[in-house]
């Protein structure tokens, strides 16, 4: 892939930990690549696996789902559901030939601004290495 | 009329916080070309009064029915702008925010890149705003009563505060008397107040308070419902003594055939009691209880010719036919004040607690030095001819605390000071005693603690830095093997008595309350507060609060402070009489729901039930959300096969367009 390729990453963040952690990264003035855009949900347990597939269909080159650390879920169990669902989804995606680097999960707490910076860097880098994703691509926006 | 979206987009400069890296004018121009956008403005500080006024005026004059604010994080100002919308007569949930500060201008350096990203975020916010629906915060009534679980100092204090404010309190205590651990203490650090003297008046207040219903010797069996409306089921265990007739005279205990033969739990099994007993002299309620596991009549059906307690009781209070009683009531709030267990030093076999009678725990020594204890306050070990007064006495700190090998990484916060207190008391009671303390660190952090630590050292108590590795017996003496780490010298210290400053642990039965109230545990296994700093008495379950050591180790002043905090939090709900419930909750499209029940299973709050409905003449089952129980996590919405369960403000059809924008737009 050419060095100029800039991937497009869609991230689903839970309101209580990861979104707050991402806010903290900003408050602490850390710097990370601008390729990742966030959709806020209340809990990683809200993220339907179809959202991930949909993002890949809509043109995203990478997807991230991030929630509270297992055991720290604001809603007690939501991230456990997320973990189970996305472990399965990851296998499914690999099975249908999607590069493993395109789909990522992370656990970032409200106090881990520095970790969020690292996660964004890593996820962006992986998507960059995987290159533009065209396999599921639809031709036009469909909502 | 209102259905066609007319969106106002407001881009904030945030001084230079946003404007420095994001071209606000370019974002404004971009937003003006987005679908359904009627007004776009940018302003230095949208959150300021003039900024908010801009939005209000546009809503009123331009007829806006959706608002997008591109500024800081919604975690910062979502509430501010919701109020702005409400003030202009618009439903506050017609607001969507684009976070172009914390997640854009502050984290990117390149102005073009940051501006491009801000445009995307605004676009995604606009497409979601088009699809927002009005939401209404519902209110439910709060039952003007509170349940307090646990009758230690935390529960007592919380119950008294709530009762004094004029609300009914049900105080449930598992053992026959309130008082808890504090009642077992002789003196309290650092002031050396007599523990019983300051506690017993409060215990009596609890029993006499017209607003407190004391349910001692009882267990909470079930709690259902939600904030404001908890239904509680309590099992009052049979005491086999009619509390209305019992005068507390104690003749039954004197007459009991097992008198002086059963280890007293209150005296840490060092003193003895009868099968019918009062746990300690100041017990509240001052009513006797027959121990069903010990009483000869209850265990064997026979106690001599007839039970002597029943024969002796002048008021006829003994009743072997008594049954457990189930009490049910409703409360608006719950306070969990179930306390702690002390660490069992048998789990550190190197200290020989199980092997040597002269190795004691702090709480055991506490009973020995107490005037109401088994020795009447004399520090005497052994019995009869073997009784002796220990002269060489060593304390070992951090037993079961700050120790990964037993799974307790935390500091128990009280052992440093109770060790200093007990060392002082022992030295006072045993003339010529030679007292030393083996420690890792001394943490004297509270009010008056450092001064007290200083005082006991001046009194001649030696502090030796070192963590003993082993205790063994040599002749009549116990030998402590330790390295003095300040002098870098290995020692073998011969002593008469070793006191283990055991730490605090979550109760062994902590799981019961977790199952009943769906509480969480933190990494140290104590109950988890909603936020370690800003919500230290709240739990993830609305209306349920924590007080005392159930939440983590703490001393008496901290426990009382937290109990007062929990009571105050409960009173906010009780005195307002109403509680607002989450608006962004789940709902079910009953026309498409197939009643599989997967959402019912997945809901962490038990907020979804299957109900029978009639669908075009056919009886079917569909899911239904209890709006007061739902916390709005959306786990059900992600689990639903047919998309029938959705979360308000986070519906599939609101999220998918955001995905499309962010995915496609470069």
A138 — pLDDT class (breaks 50, 70, 90): low
Q: What is the DSSP letter of B403?
A: B
Mean pLDDT to the nearest integer, B289-313: 95
Contact at CB, B652 and A20, closer than 8 angstroms? no
The C-alpha of B522 sits at a distance from chain A's nearest C-alpha, in angstroms, of 8
Which of B433, B431, B400, B432 shows the shortest CA–CA distance to B415? B400
Task: State how far the alpha carbon of B125 is from the alpha carbons of B56, B111, B570, B655, B656, in Å.
Answer: 19, 21, 38, 10, 12
Q: Please, what is the angle between helix B449-458 and helix B415-429, to 10°?
A: 30
**Which residues of chain A are within 8 Å of residue B659 when distances are taken between CB atoms?**
10, 39, 51, 54-55, 58, 60
Mean pLDDT to the nearest integer, B177-184: 97
Coil, strand or helix: which one is B511?
A: helix
CA–CA gap between residue B432 and residue B392 (Å, rounded): 9
Residue B392 in tokens: 């060489």
Q: Is the pLDDT reported for residue B527 higher than 80?
A: yes
The secondary structure element, H or E, covering residue B121 is: helix B111-130
**Which residues of chain B are within 8 Å of residue A37 when distances are taken between CB atoms?**
117, 120-121, 124, 662
Task: State how far the alpha carbon of B631 is from the alpha carbons of A69, B580, B583, B586, B618, in Å.
Answer: 19, 12, 9, 8, 32
Mean pLDDT to the nearest integer, B262-267: 96
B253 — pLDDT class (breaks 50, 70, 90): very high
B296 — pLDDT class (breaks 50, 70, 90): very high
Residue B48 in tokens: 């300021």
Residue B596 in tokens: 């599989």
User: Which residue matches tokens 């009280």?
Assistant: B414
Give the one of A41, A76, A78 whose C-beta lies nearest to B650's C-beta.
A41
**Which residues of chain A are within 8 Å of residue B116 when distances are taken between CB atoms?**
34
Query: In chain B, whose CA is at the least distance from the CA of A6?
Result: B666
**Strands in B278-413 per DSSP E:** 289-290, 325-331, 333-336, 340-342, 359-361, 392-399
What's chain A's length in residues? 143
3-class secondary structure for B303-326?
CCCCCHHHHHCCCCCECCCCCCEE
Give the one of B102, B633, B655 whose C-beta lies nearest to A51's C-beta.
B655
Q: Is the pLDDT reported for residue A126 higher than 80?
A: yes
User: Does residue B620 contact residue B660 with C-beta atoms inside 8 Å?
Assistant: no
Mean pLDDT to the nearest integer, B178-195: 96
Which of B631 and B553 is assigned the larger pLDDT? B553
Q: Is the pLDDT reported for residue A4 higher than 80?
A: no
The C-alpha of B106 sits at a distance from chain A's nearest C-alpha, in angstroms, of 5
CA–CA gap between residue B272 and residue B280 (Å, rounded): 11
Which of B234, B233, B232, B236 shows the shortest CA–CA distance to B143? B232
Burial class (CB in 10 A: 0-12, 13-18, 19+), B579: buried
CA–CA gap between residue B578 and residue B141 (Å, rounded): 5
Mean pLDDT to the nearest integer, B334-340: 98
Residues β-bridged to residue B147? B170, B334
Q: Is the pLDDT reported for residue A2 higher than 60?
A: no
User: Does residue B551 contact residue B513 with C-beta atoms inside 8 Å?
Assistant: no
CA–CA gap between residue B409 and residue A92 (Å, rounded): 40
**Which residues of chain A are within 8 Å of residue B74 when distances are taken between CB atoms?**
40
Express each pLDDT in B558-592 by its tens digit.
Answer: 999 999 999 999 999 999 999 988 899 999 999 99
Mean pLDDT to the nearest integer, A19-41: 95
Mean pLDDT to the nearest integer, B587-601: 95
- Classify strands B289-290 and B276-277 as parallel, antiparallel or unpaired: antiparallel
The predicted pLDDT at position A76 comes to 81
CA–CA gap between residue B150 and residue B367 (Å, rounded): 22
Please give the CATH number for the structural domain made up of B340-505.
3.50.50.60
Express each pLDDT in B459-512 by its tens digit.
Answer: 999 999 999 999 999 999 999 999 999 999 999 999 999 999 999 999 999 999
User: Does residue B38 contact residue B61 with C-beta atoms inside 8 Å?
Assistant: no
CA–CA gap between residue B392 and residue B409 (Å, rounded): 31
The C-alpha of B543 sits at a distance from chain A's nearest C-alpha, in angstroms, of 15
Coil, strand or helix: which one is A12?
A: strand
**Best interface-test mutation with B: which of A7, A8, A32, A39 has the largest number of B CBs within 10 A?**
A39
Percent with pLDDT over 90 in chain B: 91
Contact at CB, B635 and A15, closer than 8 angstroms? no
3-class secondary structure for B173-190?
CCCCCCCCHHHHCCEECC
The C-alpha of A70 sits at a distance from chain B's nearest C-alpha, in angstroms, of 11
> Of 2.30.30, 3.40.50, 2.60.40, 1.10.287, which CATH number belongs to B7-135?
3.40.50
Going across the sheet that includes B325-331, the strands are B218-226, B229-236, B325-331
The predicted pLDDT at position B1 comes to 44
B8 — pLDDT class (breaks 50, 70, 90): very high
Q: Is the pLDDT reported for residue B343 higher than 80?
A: yes
Please give the CATH number for the structural domain made up of B586-648.
3.30.70.20
Burial class (CB in 10 A: 0-12, 13-18, 19+), B447: exposed
**Which residues of chain A are within 8 Å of residue B637 when distances are taken between CB atoms?**
46, 48
The predicted pLDDT at position A136 comes to 82
Coil, strand or helix: which one is B447?
A: coil
Give the one of B102, B109, B604 whose C-beta lies nearest to A23's C-beta.
B102
Domain membership of residue A139 (yes or no) is no
Q: Is the pLDDT reported for residue B127 higher than 60?
A: yes
Which of B240, B280, B275 shows the shortest CA–CA distance to B258? B275
The C-alpha of B462 sits at a distance from chain A's nearest C-alpha, in angstroms, of 42
**Which residues of chain B are within 8 Å of residue A10 when distances are taken between CB atoms?**
659, 662-663
Which of A19, A46, A10 shows the shortest CA–CA distance to A116? A19
The predicted pLDDT at position A3 comes to 57
Coil, strand or helix: which one is B195?
A: helix
The predicted pLDDT at position B666 comes to 66
The predicted pLDDT at position B605 comes to 86
The predicted pLDDT at position B288 comes to 97
Mean pLDDT to the nearest integer, B413-427: 97
Contact at CB, B108 and A76, closer than 8 angstroms? no
* Structural domain boundaries, residue A90: 9-130
The predicted pLDDT at position B116 comes to 96
- Classify strands B168-172 and B145-149 as parallel, antiparallel or unpaired: parallel
Give the one of A32, A40, A43 whose C-beta lies nearest to B635's C-beta.
A43
The predicted pLDDT at position A139 comes to 58
User: Does residue A35 contact residue B120 with C-beta atoms inside 8 Å?
Assistant: no
Contact at CB, A23 and B73, closer than 8 angstroms? yes
Residues β-bridged to residue B465? B439
**Which residues of chain A are within 8 Å of residue B656 when distances are taken between CB atoms?**
51, 54, 143
Tell me how crowded residue B197 is: count the other CB atoms within 10 A of its CB. Answer: 11
The secondary structure element, H or E, covering residue B215 is: strand B212-215
3-class secondary structure for A15-69?
CCCHHHHHHHHHHCCCCCCCCEEEEEECCHHHCCHHHHHHHHHHCCCEEEEEECC
Contact at CB, A40 and B117, closer than 8 angstroms? no
* Same fold flag, B145-237+324-339+507-578 and B340-505: yes
Indicate the average pLDDT of chain B: 95
**Which residues of chain B are within 8 Å of residue A15 when distances are taken between CB atoms?**
75
- Classify strands B168-172 and B212-215 as parallel, antiparallel or unpaired: parallel
CATH of the domain at A31: 3.40.50
Give the one of A15, A29, A76 whose C-beta lies nearest to B540's C-beta.
A76
* Residue A66 falls in which region: left (phi positive, over 0), alpha (psi -120 to 50) or beta: beta
Task: State how far the alpha carbon of B602 is from the alpha carbons of A75, A86, A90, B515, B628, in Å.
Answer: 12, 16, 21, 16, 17
Indicate the average pLDDT of chain A: 91
What are the extents of the domains in chain B?
7-135, 145-237+324-339+507-578, 251-312, 340-505, 586-648
Contact at CB, B655 and A39, closer than 8 angstroms? yes
CA–CA gap between residue B653 and residue B308 (Å, rounded): 76
A1 — pLDDT class (breaks 50, 70, 90): very low
The secondary structure element, H or E, covering residue A83 is: helix A78-95
The C-alpha of B642 sits at a distance from chain A's nearest C-alpha, in angstroms, of 12
Mean pLDDT to the nearest integer, B197-216: 97
Coil, strand or helix: which one is B591?
A: coil
Cα atoms found within 13 Å of the Cα of residue A1, Cβ hemisphere only: 14
Coil, strand or helix: which one is B384?
A: helix
- State the CATH class of domain B145-237+324-339+507-578: alpha beta
User: Does residue B98 contact residue B68 with C-beta atoms inside 8 Å?
Assistant: yes
Give me the phi and psi of B311, to 5 degrees please. -65, -35
Which of B644, B650, B654, B541 shows the shortest CA–CA distance to B599? B644
Task: State how far the alpha carbon of B51 is from the alpha carbons of A94, B23, B79, B118, B122, in Å.
Answer: 49, 19, 15, 20, 18
Which of B277, B281, B272 shows the shortest CA–CA distance to B290? B277
Q: What is the DSSP letter of B565?
A: H
Task: State how far the alpha carbon of B616 is from the alpha carbons of B132, B597, B613, in Å.
Answer: 31, 21, 10
Mean pLDDT to the nearest integer, B92-111: 97
Residue B99 in tokens: 């976070």
CA–CA gap between residue B229 and residue B207 (Å, rounded): 25
CA–CA gap between residue B296 and residue B275 (Å, rounded): 8
Residue B617 in tokens: 């003449």
Q: Is the pLDDT reported for residue A143 higher than 70?
A: no
Domain membership of residue A83 (yes or no) is yes
Contact at CB, A42 and B656, closer than 8 angstroms? no
């Amino acid at each position: 892939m050419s060095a100029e390729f800039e991937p497009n990453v869609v991230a689903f963040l839970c309101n209580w930990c990861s979104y707050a952690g991402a806010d903290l990264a900003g408050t602490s003035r850390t710097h990370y690549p601008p390729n990742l855009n966030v959709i806020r949900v209340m809990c990683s347990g809200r993220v339907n696996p179809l959202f991930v597939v949909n993002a890949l269909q809509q043109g995203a080159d990478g997807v991230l789902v991030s929630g509270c650390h297992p055991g720290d879920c604001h809603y007690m169990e939501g991230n456990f559901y997320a973990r189970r669902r996305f472990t399965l989804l990851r296998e499914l995606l690999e099975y249908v030939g999607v590069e493993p680097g395109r789909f990522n999960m992370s656990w970032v707490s409200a106090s881990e601004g520095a970790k969020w910076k690292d996660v964004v860097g890593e996820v962006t880098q992986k998507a960059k290495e995987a290159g533009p994703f065209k396999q599921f691509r639809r031709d036009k926006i469909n909502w | 009329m209102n259905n066609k979206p007319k969106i106002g987009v407001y881009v904030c400069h945030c001084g230079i916080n946003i404007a420095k890296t994001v071209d606000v004018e370019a974002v404004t121009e971009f937003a003006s070309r987005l679908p359904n956008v009627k007004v776009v403005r940018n302003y230095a500080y949208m959150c300021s009064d003039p900024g908010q006024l801009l939005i209000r005026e546009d809503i009123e004059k331009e007829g806006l029915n959706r608002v997008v604010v591109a500024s800081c994080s919604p975690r910062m100002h979502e509430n501010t702008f919701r109020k702005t919308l409400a003030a202009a007569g618009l439903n506050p949930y017609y607001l969507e925010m684009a976070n172009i500060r914390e997640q854009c201008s502050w984290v990117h350096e390149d102005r073009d890149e940051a501006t491009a990203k801000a445009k995307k975020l605004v676009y995604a916010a606009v497409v979601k705003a088009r699809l927002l629906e009005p939401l209404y915060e519902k209110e439910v009534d709060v039952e003007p009563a509170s349940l307090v679980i646990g009758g230690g100092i935390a529960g007592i204090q919380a119950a008294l505060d709530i009762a004094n404010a004029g609300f009914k309190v049900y105080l449930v205590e598992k053992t026959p008397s309130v008082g808890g651990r504090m009642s077992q203490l002789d003196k309290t650090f650092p002031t050396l107040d007599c523990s019983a003297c300051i506690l017993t008046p409060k215990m009596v207040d609890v029993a006499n308070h017209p607003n407190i219903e004391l349910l001692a010797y009882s267990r909470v069996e079930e709690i259902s419902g939600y904030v404001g409306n908890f239904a509680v089921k309590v099992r009052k265990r049979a005491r086999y003594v009619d509390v209305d007739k019992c005068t507390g005279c104690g003749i039954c205990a004197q007459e009991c055939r097992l008198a002086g033969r059963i280890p007293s739990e209150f005296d840490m099994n060092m003193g003895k009691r009868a099968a019918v007993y009062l746990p300690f002299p100041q017990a509240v309620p001052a009513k006797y209880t027959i121990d069903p596991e010990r009483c000869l009549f209850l265990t064997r059906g026979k106690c001599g010719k007839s039970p002597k307690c029943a024969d002796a009781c002048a008021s006829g209070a003994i009743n072997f036919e008594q049954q457990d009683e189930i009490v049910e009531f409703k409360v608006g709030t719950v306070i969990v004040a179930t306390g702690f267990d002390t660490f069992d030093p048998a789990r550190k076999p190197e200290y020989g607690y199980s092997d040597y009678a002269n190795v004691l725990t702090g709480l055991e020594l506490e009973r020995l030095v107490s005037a109401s204890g088994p020795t009447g306050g004399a520090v005497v070990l052994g019995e009869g001819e073997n009784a002796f007064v220990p002269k060489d006495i060593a304390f070992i700190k951090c037993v079961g605390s700050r120790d990964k090998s037993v799974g307790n990484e935390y500091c128990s916060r009280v052992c440093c000071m109770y060790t200093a207190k007990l060392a002082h008391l022992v030295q006072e009671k045993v003339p010529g005693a030679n007292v030393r303390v083996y420690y890792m660190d001394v943490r004297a952090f509270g009010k008056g603690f450092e001064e007290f630590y200083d005082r006991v050292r001046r009194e001649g108590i030696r502090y030796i830095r070192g963590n003993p590795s082993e205790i063994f017996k040599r002749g009549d003496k116990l030998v402590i093997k330790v390295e003095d780490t300040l002098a870098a010298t290995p020692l073998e210290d011969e002593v008469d008595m070793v006191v283990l400053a055991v730490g605090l642990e979550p109760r062994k039965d902590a799981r019961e309350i977790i199952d009943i109230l769906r509480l969480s545990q933190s990494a140290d296994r104590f109950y988890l507060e909603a936020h370690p700093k800003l919500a230290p008495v709240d739990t993830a379950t609305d209306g349920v609060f924590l007080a005392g050591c159930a939440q983590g180790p703490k001393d008496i002043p901290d426990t009382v402070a937290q109990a007062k905090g929990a009571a105050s939090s409960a009173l906010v709900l009780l005195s307002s009489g109403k509680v607002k419930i989450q608006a962004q909750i789940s709902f079910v499209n009953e026309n498409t729901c197939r009643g599989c029940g997967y959402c019912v299973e997945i809901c962490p709050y038990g907020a979804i039930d299957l109900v029978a409905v009639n669908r075009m003449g056919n009886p079917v089952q569909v899911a239904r959300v209890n709006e007061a129980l739902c916390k709005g996590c959306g786990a059900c919405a992600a689990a639903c096969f047919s998309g029938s369960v959705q979360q308000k403000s986070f519906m599939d059809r609101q999220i998918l367009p955001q995905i499309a924008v962010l995915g496609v737009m470069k």
